[in-house]
């Protein structure tokens, strides 16, 4: 993990620079007024990974300057992580340091926290761990009120749970999300709530049915279900699909189907060009898909996926990479008009920025 320079007094100035950069980079498009969503200035990261450094009998966390992975910087504080992580991360290290069963060959500690106060800690080792490790680490679970996972080569030990349950208040309703260790979740929960609110507002009049590619654990899927008659979502990660289905059941939502299959396969199914038992009984031919939601990785959408999404009257595009978003929009705007454009500051004090675009067919 690289070390951003956290200075709350500079936050607004840095955010304005990001907005100006987006306005310049997207000047070729006729953008509406940009919706700007801020992050908390401190304690905004719900998950974090820290290298552990051994120096004689000492044991401490280190981070690195961007672009320099050789010169460790000892951490005495970490204002970017959630308050839940920050309160106990150094006390946890104090508890690990004196016990050889816990500290020997420990090289990384991962944290996954929630706004609702839950915390999962993963301890990663360059050695086998087993019963002796379990005996030593179990008291820490009770002491700190946390869940703990141990990882070593080809081995994973779960003391109780390998997930947390997040509670997000969105537009007057509370949604619960199972977030599993070592699976993708949005790192900035407050900004995530704003992203979901924006997608709800942008698509509120779309009507019909929604198809979603790259749905993850249902982060957008669950709240968006209220805007549509039906939602059909795809995801290729087995663990994410399992979490999404768990979340759908826990939230009592009955108009979502999550399929474990590549987005291109679902597109072929919807075109009638492919058959699969995975959609048996879903009566997809009865759906009227007015809207498609895509939240791709940094590489953006490939040409084939772009050709798929432009077939829908409305497009919701969540992007973690403005450069690939711009490339995709050059093609998409040949058939669709940009109605809404948003900036989500998921990663304060860095150059990273997430964007949201809502487009309708010309």
- Cβ–Cβ under 8 Å, residues 222 and 194: no
Q: Write the pLDDT tens digit of every residue in 19-69.
A: 999 999 999 998 999 999 999 999 999 999 999 999 988 999 998 877 777
| Residues 47-164, CATH architecture | Beta Barrel (2.40)
| Residues 8-41+183-361, CATH architecture | 3-Layer(aba) Sandwich (3.40)
Burial label, 207 (beta-carbon count in 10 A; 0-12, 13-18, 19+): middle
Say how far apart CA 176 and CA 348 lie, in whole Å. Answer: 26
Q: Which residue has the tokens 């320099």?
A: 68
Decide: helix, strand or coil at residue 310: coil
Q: Is pLDDT of 7 > 90?
A: no
**In which residue ranges of the chain is CATH 3.40.50.150 found?**
8-41+183-361
Say how far apart CA 165 and CA 178 lie, in whole Å. Answer: 5
Q: Write the pLDDT tens digit of every residue in 274-302.
A: 878 888 778 888 889 999 999 988 889 98
The pLDDT assigned to 2 comes to 56
Say how far apart CA 216 and CA 136 lie, in whole Å. Answer: 35
Q: Is pLDDT of 327 > 90?
A: yes
How much is the pTM? 0.92
Residue numbers annotated as active site: 320, 354
C-alpha to C-alpha distances, 4 to 71, 138, 140, nearest whole angstrom: 15, 33, 30
**In which residue ranges of the chain is CATH 2.40.50.1070 found?**
47-164
């Amino acid at each position: 993990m690289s070390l951003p320079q956290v200075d709350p007094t500079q936050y607004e100035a840095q955010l304005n620079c990001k907005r100006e950069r987006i306005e310049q980079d997207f000047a070729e498009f006729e953008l509406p007024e940009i919706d700007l969503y801020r992050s908390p200035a401190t304690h905004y990261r719900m998950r974090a990974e820290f290298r552990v450094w051994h120096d004689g009998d000492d044991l401490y966390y280190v981070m690195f300057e961007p672009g320099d992975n050789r010169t460790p910087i000892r951490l005495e504080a970490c204002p970017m992580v959630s308050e839940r992580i920050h309160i106990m991360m150094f006390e946890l290290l104090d508890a690990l340091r004196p016990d050889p069963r816990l500290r020997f060959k420990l090289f990384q500690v991962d944290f996954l926290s929630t706004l609702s106060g839950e915390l999962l800690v993963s301890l990663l080792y360059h050695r086998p761990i087993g019963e002796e490790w379990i005996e030593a680490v179990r008291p820490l679970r009770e002491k700190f009120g946390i869940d703990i996972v141990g990882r070593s080569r080809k081995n994973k030990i779960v003391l109780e749970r390998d997930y947390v349950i997040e509670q997000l208040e969105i537009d007057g309703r509370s949604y619960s999300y199972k977030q599993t260790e070592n699976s993708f979740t949005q790192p900035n929960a407050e900004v995530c709530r704003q992203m979901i609110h924006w997608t709800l507002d942008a698509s509120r009049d779309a009507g019909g049915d929604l198809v979603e590619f790259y749905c993850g654990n249902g982060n957008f899927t669950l709240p968006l279900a209220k805007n549509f008659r039906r939602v059909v979502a795809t995801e290729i990660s087995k663990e994410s699909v399992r979490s999404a289905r768990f979340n759908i059941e826990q939230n009592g939502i009955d108009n979502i189907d999550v399929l474990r299959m590549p987005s291109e396969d679902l597109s072929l199914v919807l075109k009638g060009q492919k058959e699969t038992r995975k959609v048996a009984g879903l009566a997809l031919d009865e759906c009227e898909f007015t809207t498609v939601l895509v939240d791709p990785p940094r590489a953006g959408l490939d040409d084939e996926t772009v050709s798929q999404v432009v077939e829908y009257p409305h497009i919701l595009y969540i992007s973690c990479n403005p450069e690939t978003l711009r490339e995709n929009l050059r093609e998409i705007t040949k058939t669709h008009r940009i109605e809404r454009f948003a900036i989500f500051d998921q990663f304060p004090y860095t150059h990273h920025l997430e964007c949201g675009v809502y487009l309708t067919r010309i």
